[in-house]
Structure 1
Amino acid sequence: MRDKQTKPGGDLSGRTAIVTGASRGIGFATAQALASAGANVVLTSRSQESADAAAGRIVAPGGTVVGFAAHAADEDQARRCIMATIERFGSLDILVNNAGTNPAYGPVIEQDRARFVKTMDVNLWAPILWTKIAVAASMADSGGVVINTSSIGGFAQSPGIGMYNLSKAALIYLTKQLAIELAPAVRVNSVAPGVVRTKLAEALWAEHEAEVAASTPSGRIGEPEDVAAAIAFLASDAASWITGETMVIDGGQRLGDVRNFQMMNTAHAENL
């Protein structure tokens, strides 16, 4: 493995990153966070037009940002993106497997094979695919960091999104498995966002944001930038001794409804 100069804090200058599914939401915010830290960033979207448009909105003080059309689950497109990245920048140091989908709403046993395949192809197979190609093409020799975007849904059961949660639970397991298999050359971690203001999660907050915010210990739903900051940290040398972990970024949502504790505290105070 090639030795690389350790950089202080969150400095990513001289590093090159690919972020899949980065035309909006967490992916776009992550591309911006990595670019702000000095990295070259290749962001992907299904169409070249949307990829270029997203790249054009990124402020990159030290590196270069380019868009690349690639469907996350398409092996040929993934390979072309990774090889083009290495050809242009010399290496691939950071891979963020962010692309995700949720076409299957309702009880798991009511889903058909087509929705199962689409969910698993994008949410689980794509991270395996992109990581496999990235390691063979660059990271096995030069080292690197892989970060997967999972979800707090991977830790618990939820009505209506069981298939999505199933894929994210598997992604959390995959993160640990790859961390073992690719050590020590490649660190592999994941992030598990809670309810974040994205298009994908819109059904979870758009019609009742105030209620979701009130139930969350931090007092608000998440923003894509909250998750992006964690990803940028995991990509940096500041996280050089972290691998195989899943970082929860949910404002405390996994702790439960904070209003229950507030009511108990109020009742206790009234009885004193």
Structure 2
Amino acid sequence: MAGTAHPGVDLSGSTAVVTGASRGIGLATAQHLAAAGANVVLTARTQEAADAAAAQVAGPGTAVGIAAHVAHEDEARACVQRTVELFGGIDILVNNAGTNPSYGPLIAQDHGRFAKTFDINLWAPILWTSLVMDASMRERGGSVINTASIGGMGHEAGIGMYNASKAALIHVTKQLALELSPRVRVNCVCPGVVRTRLAEALWKEHEQAVSSATALDRIGEPDDVAGAVTFLASDAAQWITGEELVIDGGQRLGSPAGFREETRARG
């Protein structure tokens, strides 16, 4: 998808950085932001992947790919500096990059998996927010959006480490919203099961079952999340900060099957 128009949302003249933008939610977010008029920098681990992603973005603004491992401070700093050189500043930061290298009980995990999960899912958003503050947002203000998860709001077998990192990110979002107020707004989106490579284990072999257990009867698409991020980045959300926006089609509500049967019986 090349991007979706957002009536009433105009990001013309603004510049956004989207981490982990080579595919999935990150790429869709870059496409939506560009369609709303923003200049967009897409990061990926390699320059080839970043360039390929940028080539898929069309809009009134300019899309540029820059290689940067989100947890490597020197690469992150260079990306932020290059963005400021190209566009004069940064107005929107989308901390989207995430990983889940661990599966199983927490007590079965090793330090390597713990460190990788928390470095990318938690430390990187703090790092990039600090860098864009120093480079631009402290003076001009802006909006930071973190990609958390509904997993950070509950407990599930097998992905406790990932969910712990996302729970921490929700907490950090609120902390940063206070620390960076009033010039910078900080919010997070909490997707449910979305059709991405990172979440394949949650849907690929049993998509119909997941859809049937979802109130809106389907799993999410990256565009569903990207539209919400674009809203939070815009002036339409100018009095919203420190919030977690759940985008899950009603998955946290539980299965709708019994409720539908009751409604049909009364109909």
Equivalent in the alignment of 1:5? none
The match for 2:119 among 118, 121, 130 is 121
Q: Give the corresponding residue for 2:253.
A: 255
CA distance in 1 between partners of 2:8 and 2:242 (Å): 21
Larger Rg: 1
Would the aligned equivalents of 1:9 and 1:237 in 2 still touch at CA under 8 Å?
Answer: no
Alignment equivalent of 1:183, drawn from 166, 181, 184: 181
Deviation at 1:9, TM superposition (A): 2.5
Contiguous gaps of at least 5 residues in structure 1: 1-7
2:199 matches 1:201: yes
- Match of 2:51? 52
1:174-229 per-position Cα deviation (integer Å, ceiling 9, x unaligned) = 00000000001100000000000000000000000011101100010000000000
Q: Please name the residue that 1:222 is paired with.
A: 220
Partners of 1:117 and 1:249 in 2: CA distance:
27
Q: 1:59, 1:197 → 2: CA distance?
A: 22
Aligned 8 A contact 1:9 1:236 in 2: no
Cα offsets for 1:127-158 (capped at 9, x unmatched): 00000010011000010100000000000001
Name 2:3's counterpart in structure 1: none
Cα distance per residue 1:77-130 (max 9 Å; x no partner) = 000000100111001000000000000111111000000000000000000000
Name the structure 2 match of 1:161. 159
Give unpaired runs (5+ residues) of structure 2. Answer: 1-6
SS in 2 for 1:57: coil
The TM-score normalised by the length of structure 2 is: 0.96
Distance 1:160 1:111 in 2: 11
Tell me the distance in 2 between the aligned counterparts of 1:264 and 1:111.
44
Letter in 2 for 1:41: V
1:260 Cα offset (Å): 3.0
Inter-partner Cα distance in structure 1 for 2:266 and 2:86: 64
Tell me how far 1:57 sits from its aligned partner: 1.1
Are 1:13 and 2:8 matched, yes or no?
no
- By how many angstroms is 1:269 displaced? 4.8
Question: What is the identity, as a one-letter code, of the residue corresponding to 1:162?
Answer: G
Between the aligned partners of 1:160 and 1:260, the Cα distance in structure 2 is 27
Q: CA deviation at 1:232?
A: 0.2
TM, length-normalised to structure 1: 0.94
Structure 2 equivalent of residue 235 of structure 1: 233
Query: Structure 2 CA distance, aligned partners of 1:33 and 1:175?
Result: 22
- Contact 1:72/1:78 (<8 A) preserved: yes
- Give how far 1:262 is off: 2.6
* Number of residue pairs aligned between Structure 1 and Structure 2: 261
Identical counterparts, % of pairs: 66
Among 96, 108, 111, the alignment partner of 1:110 is 108
Q: Which range moved further: 255-264 or 138-147?
A: 255-264
How far apart, CA to CA, are the structure 1 residues paired with 2:258 and 2:222?
Answer: 27
SS of the aligned residue for 1:160 comes to: coil
Is this contact kept in 2: 1:10–1:233, CA < 8 A? yes
Provide the rounded CA distance (Å) in 1 between the counterparts of 2:229 and 2:258: 31
What CA RMSD, in Å, does the superposition of the two structures yield over aligned residues?
1.2
